[in-house]
Structure 1
Amino acid sequence: MDLDLTWLLWGLPLAFAAGWLASRFDLHQWRLEGRRAPKAVFRGLNQLLNEQQDRAIDSFIEAVQNDPDTSELHFALGNLFRRRGDYDRAVRVHEHLLARGDLSQKDRDRAQHALALDFLKAGLLDRAEAALRQLEHSAFADEARQALLGIFERARDWPQAIAMAEQLDKEHTGAYQLRLSHFLCEMAATASKRQATDEAMQLLEQARTRAPDAPRPHVEIAALQQSQQQPDAALDTLLALTATHPQTLPLVAHPMAQLAQQTGRSQAVRARLEQLQPTPPSIDVTEAIAGLSTDPTIARGTYLRHLESEASLVMAARWLAGESLGGTQQQALVLRALDQATQPLKRYRCAACGFEAKQYFWQCPGCQNWDSYPTRRVEEL
């Protein structure tokens, strides 16, 4: 029986034509999708430059749908959601990335870090801590430890904050001795509230050893000594502090004046305050000097000398309080108006974020930075 090869003559060209058409169709689709994705990306970048975040997000979502395997588009989209405050969608984007089996280890660590930042910005500290701990052996390890330190500070978990700061300090990723001193002072404050004065004093001595140049341990030790009915020891602590760190004088001038009156050392302390009065003069130091003067005329002269060196509405109000303004009722009205006007000028202002407060803070309640408050009042800045 002869083999009929006629069907091969027809079949081969048809198969070739079908394969060629299929390849052309796939190539056309690939080119079409490739053109759509870059256009959406470029459109999104342009909208970002024009500060149109909502429209940029829509463009990036379109780009991700056209090219779902591109991790960079997912990272860009997740970062946009986070910056916009849409933390739920940012978390979903980064969790979707982590669920992919074809993601490289580098991109996986990057997605894990981004997810931790999503939780951190959303205030989900427990989930942020768990996500950050998974980055221990990654390229983001240092950043993760610093973020964990911030979490422990916000949670006021000082033992864990100390352990993390010591680890960072050993790895030479920054100087953390001053922050360690603050952490020990915070623990001492907690112990003092429990009436555990011996424990509090030990912690403060450790804080002073950690950071000998830090003023806070000396200030806290003096306050603890005063609470233990040791005014002479407390005053000596503050005098020693101002001798080595005169820039702290405005912060401790009032406690020094109070302790001087308790110990009968007003004249010596007043002389020290006058000797160390900075230039331009400090409102707090001037008030402390005036408070140690038994003669009202001498006190008013102290305010006047301040005004001669530096214009100050606060000092002007203090000086006017001793002047006769033509009647008790009229004088009370004027002094009340001046007191109301000077209240905002007596506040402390954070140099990092501008948060203002009536009292001095070692850690800003607004931005959580340490030692960001100058020792001078708003009027003096």
Structure 2
Amino acid sequence: MGIFTMPSLGADMEDGILVEWLKAQGDTVARGDIVAVVETEKGAIEIEIFEDGKIDEILVPEGSKVPVGSPLATILGAGETVVSEIAQHTIQVEAEAPAAPEAAPEIITSRPIMDDVSEVRASPAARLFAKDHNIDLNGIRGTGPSGAIQLCDVENAKPAPPKRGIDLDAMRHAIASAMSRSNREIPHYYLTHRIDVSGAQNWLDAHNAARSPPERILFGALLVKAAALAIRDYPEFNGLYEQGSFRTSQEVHAGIAIAIRGGGLVAPAIQNADQLSLAELMVQMRDLIGRVRRGSFRASELTSSTMTVNSLGDRGVEGVLPIIYPPQVAIIGFGKIIEQPWVIEDEIVPRPILQMTLAADHRVSDGHRGGLLLNAIAEKLDAPESL
């Protein structure tokens, strides 16, 4: 018997609203299936399941506000027929409902319609609507003659679905909390390095020349791939610092900082970024950016990053000093490519120059290793054909 719980979708997340179940009680599920949608400060997030089996019992109704770690459903494995004991206990959840007008009565929707409502004065249309929408007439104040419940009274009592989308104020609060924690708990150090990227640009121009726009690779994909490849040789920058110790990761899951339309920022991960070809990486980046801009992404994309890349070049920023997102220990920032004078063989010539920055955790690494990492990224970008 497995228990499907409310996942933690960020270092500062305490609870979330279960907006929608995408699987029903009795449905068979497999590892990686999307089973529910949860609303957090970051928006509506699709929640995957990480075991095979069958949904034995759904424990939390849609619209409920649930603390991280609380049981949402029980999962039966192959051959299991045991009925969940968790269902015998009450799970405290806070249902989020729209504010009612001041004069409106309290609306009760948590119990099924009573079989005997003969004492309730209501029109036939009101009774039919209440039955179809599982609304208890006993909790509604009627506006008809002698207080009889009319159809409009029941329609007004129907709970509105939870608001979908992104609460920007809440997101700003969540970002501020996470960054405050990062500044308070992580001893940051910063290194910057400027490099000539003319070789990478020339290679990319030639690569894209014979391809249609959907097949072309953007320079940002080269930055992510170069960083992901380089960090494999410097594992102290790739992993998580939790409960007083650092655990390096054998995989490189690159978080990509993405601005959400209207405001806000998230950094969902591209899994095994170092193993993808540039074309595969570009496809995944386009998909991820598109879904994030629509406010739709998955739980695993928010929780699996082992390092983060933040590129603000397309915003016209020459350099960035990023803040580490806990429990990660490193973030690499890239600025705008700018034509600048550069000395080559005793001559001053114009060259496209890129500034990159490493913010790292001094509990795990030092400036010597950080400098080597930045130089390794520069070497990867200087040989783009090998990415």
TM-score bucket of the superposed structures, by smaller chain: under 0.3
With structure 1 as the length reference, what TM-score do the two structures score? 0.19
| Structure having the higher Rg | 1
Higher normalized contact order (CA 8 Å, seq sep 6+, divided by chain length): 2
With structure 2 as the length reference, what TM-score do the two structures score? 0.19
- Structure with greater strand share of residues: 2
